[in-house]
Amino acid sequence: MDTQATRRIVAWSLVSAALVAAIVIPVVSQSAPPTETPAGSATDFSPYVSKDGAISRPTDYREKFLHLGTWAVAKKKGDAVHEMHNVYARPEDIQAFRRDGKFPDGATLVKEITDVSAEKLTTGESSWSTDNKIWFVMIKDAKGRFPGNDLWGDGWGWALFKADKPMQNVATDYKVDCLTCHIPAKKDDWIYTRGYPILEKKSAAH
């Protein structure tokens, strides 16, 4: 084989190797699994609670949670409805309540509070949800994991998010920011289960 032919073969070999490396290396890099967990990430207790007890707002609750019930709220008796309180829970938490009569450890409830619109329709004076104003998040803690944390107590973690800061828990003390509205439901573990027929057991035999 002459020298010129040999040079051509060597050149083509180098080009081919470069092309293979350019294709293979990025694929290997992209498929490599992460080697560590970010600091402050959630534990097995709840995907919405960090190791130090910080509570995050589930952003996909409308897609992955089930609707527990809705409360139409007026400031005074006889006044027009001024807010709608729509409450959601995870399917597995609802199933556990039906079975055991209580929410399990880690159960997650989301209450969205919205403004309303109203109109006289063929069925009568009607009101419906419009823009979100506030979200409340409650996470059941049956083990008292965060003693000394002012957002955990009475068996729950408590969080408040506002529409202008939807990712920031603005509650600072659950006894001041959250618990007072739940006093009438104290005997039911602070949850207004009376308004959630979906929690009823499917059969009286169970």
DSSP character string of 113-178: EEEEEEEEETTEEEEEEEEEEEEEEEEE-TT---TT-TTEETTEEEEEEETTBTTS---S-HHHHT
Q: Identify the bridge partners of residue 167 per DSSP, sorted by sequence position.
A: none
pLDDT computed for residue 41 by the predictor:
55
Low-confidence stretches of the chain (pLDDT beneath 70): 1-43, 202-206
Collapsed DSSP state (helix, strand, coil) of residue 76: coil
- Taking the whole predicted model, whether its pTM rises above 0.95 is answered as no
Residue-range domains of the chain with CATH:
61-199 (3.50.70.20)
pLDDT for the residue numbered 144:
95
pLDDT of the residue at 191? 98
**Residue 9's pLDDT is what?**
43
Tokens (6 digits) for 30: 């992209």
Tell me what pLDDT residue 44 has: 83
34 DSSP 8-state letter: P
Q: How far apart are the first and last CA of the chain?
A: 88
User: What pLDDT, on the 0 to 100 scale, is given for residue 203?
Assistant: 53
